[in-house]
Structure 1
Amino acid sequence: MTSESVVVFINLRRTQLEYMPTFEAARRLGHGVALITDKTPVDLPDTIVREVVVVDTYDHEKVDAAADRIAGRFSVAGVVTWSDRDVTSVSRICARLGLPAPSVDSAETARNKYLMREAMAARPELIPRYARVTDVSELDQAREAVGFPAVLKPTSASGSKGIFVVHDEEELDQACTQLMTYTRPEVDSVFTDNPNELVLEGLLVGTEHSVEGFVHRGEVLIAGVTDKESTKEFCLETAQTHPSALPEGPLTSVQRLTETVVAEMGLDDCTFHLECIVDGTGTARLVEIAARPAGDFIASHLVTAATGVSFHENVLRVATGHRPIPVEQAHLHAGVRKVMAAEEGTFEGLEGLEEAGNVPGVRHIIVERAQGAAVRMPPTDYASSTLGAVIATGDSDAYLQERLQRATDLLRPRFTPREEG
């Protein structure tokens, strides 16, 4: 074994715009990276990435063997993941290597939306009514416990996969039938550990927000609160802005909710991304919490741009047993707004890229779909309807919102319509 320090990454975010800053953060903190992944991305920085082990990361034994191989060659300083699917693997490996991470039980709770509700059962005022559904035969009992309107969703998916808002028995029956077909490992490997497990919960009404932060040796450090927008029907997130425009009272409610949830779930030594709804009275209630950094460019770009403190460096500080640098305040506003498909078909590209890129404040324009890609709408597909995104900054929330809207309005999708039949 060499004395060279590495942080083990289990998989990466989907785009290089999101994952490249993670490598750079490791380098600034004096670490190399050892990557355990399903598939090696192209053009990795080879002076930072010291080893790549390609395995099926849904196979726990293979992941553990890969971690042992890395630990036999390097001095492992910490283990991190950037998405939900691998949080239990991080905790399992860290428990064996004596490294900071949430307990395996806490990680499993953070991966399962039903167990999450169970962990918060002593604080019913902070969560919606809920019931577990594993078969169509359980719908009647679940409906009686929860009522309408409600949300039916898988307990283990992420990225708004499989979320149905239902208003009556017919919609609930249809949603359950579709999800029982969809939530199987042969359809999507994310359901390997709990196929056909759903949760029905009361629909929370209000404004949507997320909390980005860290837990280090029991201390909760909030880096900021993000405002969110999503579609009404399938809850696909369409925009994020940081910091939140919430007034002081509701913002305090969000922060207190965060501290309570972290404590009740026993999370420690990790980054977290909590999602909540603030109702008309200014009270925050939990949607879910993840024991990993946010996606949708929140962690990779928005928090860092708004606060001037590298969020990814703090992720690595916590993973390696060090206290993160606290965020005092956000000096700028940063946001992302997505370009969404309005129809199915073949994506031929985005027009207006140059004009949108010239809007003051725009930092990045991302084209999410390749030319010629098939675009399908939910519930057939939950990812391909996102065509692109604009990331921008500004000195006020109003300035930022206007620039994001102006830039996305300039981006015009070109489609070959889908042929019927």
Structure 2
Amino acid sequence: MTRNVFVVGMNDLNAERLRRLRGVEDVVFHPLLTSEAVSDTQEFDIPAMLAEAEATLDAFDGSIDAIVGYIDFPVSTMLPLLCKKYGTRNASLESLLKCEHKYWSRKVMAEIVPDHTPTFTAFDPFDDDALSKIGEADLRFPFFVKPIKSSGSRLGFRIDSPEDFDYAIAAFRAEIGQISEPFNYVLDQADLPDDIKAIEGHYCMAERVIGGRQCTVEGYVHEGEVVPYGTVDSIRYPQVLSFFYYLYPSTLPRPVQDQMNEITRKVMAHIGYDNAGFNIEYYWDEVQNKIWLLEINTRIAQSHCDLFEMVDGVSHQQVTVDLGLGRRPDMPKGEGPENVAGEFFYRVFFNDATIARAPSKAEIEVAAEQVEGTRIASYVARGMKLSELPEQDAYSYAVASVWMGAGKQSKLLWNYEQVMKRLNYEFTDIVE
């Protein structure tokens, strides 16, 4: 019997990945909303998106067996609403918001794993006394600020001085409405405690600066059982906050990974999150031998799909689809062609610039052919402004991503250098 799985924001690349999963011979994948509508945009009209998705589902002449997604906001927050209406499996909206609402999430962490939770407070960026109130919460320079709901590393700033805070506040006031207004719509659909209701979508978080070697634990919960299945290292460019590459499997010591997995089980069980994938970002301060929990994301990391396929033999979208269909995920280990895999981010560190030259499709294909199995995604075109790119961090722009595998990490880095020698980007009107 054919089973119908609707995938929010499915594009051609992910449709190919999905067809390569295990146990999907009798599954038909249907796109639900376009990738352009939910991902390649900075406008998030959630009521309109939900109405369009519901119209598609209502018009479908067949069973609706699962509704899934692998994209951050707004998809992650729409899925519980759609799944509840159509009777398909997913985490509850309230358990999801205990992860996605960064203030609520920190409060939960402070209850259950206080030794791994930094000092934090919420603040209103439209309050002229916000900085002094942050100080009253026992936070001193340096600290980190971010929205209570963000996407990627957008609008995240390290604050070392009042001038840094003023710069961040100006950015929050100018841009936070793009996220806060649609997030408030989602919050209005949930049963929230009074103290969380008071922290509306436009609020921000201030937190003690934490650091060390960063990684992401990918996991899922199936019928109450929390299962971490892989750890990916997040390696930054020297001296900046921007990511250089993701590396799988992690090179962290096994006891450190085991402790992170135990923290993961404890936190996710306490939250009551169930029948969905997630990932948790951590730091390991190796000087203090201290593990810090950074944040919880309520979806698999799309960036890690190719890494798992290269090393383990299948994209971890296996987790998303199996859970949506009510199955325990059939996630293999070490069955891929490579020992290690990475996603590299080619970045430029300008405030803005115009792209004077970008590699052609043919040039990208030639570059990818330098190392078998390499995939390259270029995000810019001639004449574009860097500031037009969606979902960028506050310190750089990612103009391309390169996914590749190798037998060991040193070879992986060497391969990346060979590929990038074939790609030529040029910029003009540079704002340093």
TM-based fold match above 0.5: yes
Tell me how far apart the structure 2 counterparts of residues 109 and 60 of structure 1 sit (CA, whole Å). Answer: 23
Q: Point out the more displaced range, 406-415 or 61-70.
A: 61-70
Distance in 2 of aligned mates of 1:188 and 1:375? 25
Aligned to 1:334: 341
Provide closer, same or farther for how the CA distance between residues 265 and 320 of structure 1 changes in structure 2, counting only shifts above 3 A: same
CA gap 1:417/1:17 in 2 versus in 1, 3 angstroms = farther
Are residue 316 (structure 1) and residue 321 (structure 2) matched?
yes
Within a 5 Å distance, the mapping from 1:8-27 to structure 2 comes to 8-12=6-10, 16-18=12-14, 20-22=16-18, 25=21
Distance 1:345 1:191, change over 3 A: farther
3-state SS of 1:147 partner: coil
1:225 and 1:244 in contact (8 A); partners too: yes
Of 142, 147, 151, the residue aligned with 1:158 is: 151
Find the counterpart in structure 1 of residue 423 from structure 2: 411
1:9/1:35 contact within 8 Å kept: yes
Please point out which of 408, 418, 424 is paired with 1:396: 408
Letter in 1 for 2:122: R
Indicate yes or no: 2:117 matched with 1:127.
Answer: yes
Amino acid at match of 2:207: E
Between 86-95 and 183-192, the greater mean CA deviation after superposition:
183-192
Question: Partners of 2:179 and 2:99 in 1: how far apart?
Answer: 23
Greater shift, 121-130 or 20-29, is seen at: 20-29
Counterpart residue identity of residue 321, structure 1: G
Q: Deviations over 1:286-340 (max 9, x none)?
A: 11111111032x12x0111111134222320011110012444476211011111
**Contact preservation (8 Å) 1:239, 1:336:** yes
- Alpha-carbon distance change, 259 to 187 in structure 1, aligned in 2, over 3 angstroms: closer
| Shift, 1:155, TM fit | 1.4
Confirm or deny that 1:239 pairs with 2:228.
Answer: no
Q: Which residue of 2 aligns with 1:144?
A: 136
Q: CA deviation at 1:26?
A: 9.0
Cα shift readout 1:159-180 (whole Å, capped 9, x = no counterpart): 1110101112332233123212
| Letter of the structure 2 residue corresponding to residue 277 of structure 1 | Y
Counterpart residue identity of residue 144, structure 1: E
Contact in 1 for aligned 2:354/2:386 (Cα 8 Å) = yes
**Which shifted more, 139-148 or 302-311?**
139-148
| 2:295 is aligned with 1:288 | yes
> What amino acid does structure 2 have at the position aligned with 1:160?
S
1:350 to 346, 355, 359: 359
Give 1:171's match in structure 2, choosing from 141, 145, 164. Answer: 164
**1:331-353 deviation per Cα after TM superposition (whole angstroms, max 9, x unaligned):** 62110111112443222213874
Q: Does 1:369 align with 2:400?
A: no
Which residue of structure 2 lines up, in the alignment, with residue 34 of structure 1? 30
CA distance in 1, matches of 2:424, 2:380: 14
Shift in Å, 1:278: 1.0
Letter in 2 for 1:315: T
Q: Is the 8 A contact 2:32 2:53 kept in 1?
A: no
Q: For residues 170 and 390 of structure 2, what CA distance do their matches in structure 1 show?
A: 12
Residue 266 of structure 2 corresponds to which residue in structure 1? 260
**RMSD (Å) for aligned C-alpha atoms:** 3.3
Q: For 1:282 and 1:67, how far apart are their aligned partners in 2?
A: 51
Separation in 2, partners of 1:102, 1:419 = 44
Residue 386 of structure 1 is matched in structure 2 by 398
- State the AA in 1 paired with 2:218: E
SS class of match (1:325): coil
Task: Name 2:177's counterpart in structure 1.
Answer: 184
- Structure-2 change in CA distance of 1:235 and 1:319 (3 Å): farther
Indicate the larger mover: 245-254 or 353-362: 353-362
Q: Match of 1:151, SS?
A: strand
Bigger CA drift: 263-272 or 402-411?
A: 402-411
Note the C-alpha offset of 1:395.
1.4
Q: Is the 8 A contact 2:152 2:391 kept in 1?
A: no
Instruction: List per-residue Cα deviations over 1:18-75 (Å, max 9, x = no partner).
Output: 454235549934222333315679xxxxxxxxxxxxx9544476167336505x6221
Is the deviation greater in 224-233 or in 282-291?
224-233
Deviates more, 1:362-371 or 1:314-323: 362-371
CA separation in 1, counterparts of 2:19 and 2:372? Answer: 26
CA distance in structure 2 between the aligned counterparts of 1:419 and 1:69, rounded to whole angstroms = 49
Q: Superposition pairs for residues 197-236 of structure 1, below 5 Å?
A: 197-230=203-236, 235-236=241-242
Counterpart check, 1:95 vs 2:84:
yes
Provide the residue aligned with 2:371 in structure 1.
360
Deviates more, 1:242-251 or 1:107-116: 107-116
- Paired AA for residue 129 in structure 1: T
Match for residue 194 of structure 2? none
Point out where structure 2 has 5 or more consecutive residues left out of the alignment.
38-43, 187-199
Q: Is the 8 A contact 1:110 1:116 kept in 2?
A: yes
Instruction: Please say which of residues 263-272 and 201-210 is displaced more in the overlay.
Output: 263-272
Report the Cα distance in structure 1 between the residues aligned to 2:224 and 2:369, rounded to whole angstroms. Answer: 45
- Cα distance in 2, alignment partners of residues 378 and 39 from structure 1: 15
Measure the CA separation in 1 of the matches of 2:34 and 2:372: 36
The residue type paired with residue 10 of structure 1 is: V
Q: For the residues of structure 2 that align with 1:245 and 1:156, how far apart are their CA atoms?
A: 30
Distance 1:380 1:95 in 2: 28
SS in 1 for 2:354: strand
Once residues 188 and 17 of structure 1 are traced to their aligned partners in structure 2, the CA distance between those partners, rounded to angstroms, is 31
Structure 2 residue corresponding to 1:82, chosen from 57, 61, 70:
70
Distance 1:20 1:235 in 2: 33
Give the drift of 1:105.
Answer: 0.2
For this pair of structures, how many residues does the alignment match? 400
The Cα shift of 1:240 comes to: 0.5
Secondary structure of the residue aligned to 2:226 is strand
Which shows bigger deviation, 17-26 or 245-254?
Answer: 17-26
> Which of residues 5, 9, 31 in structure 2 aligns to 1:7?
5
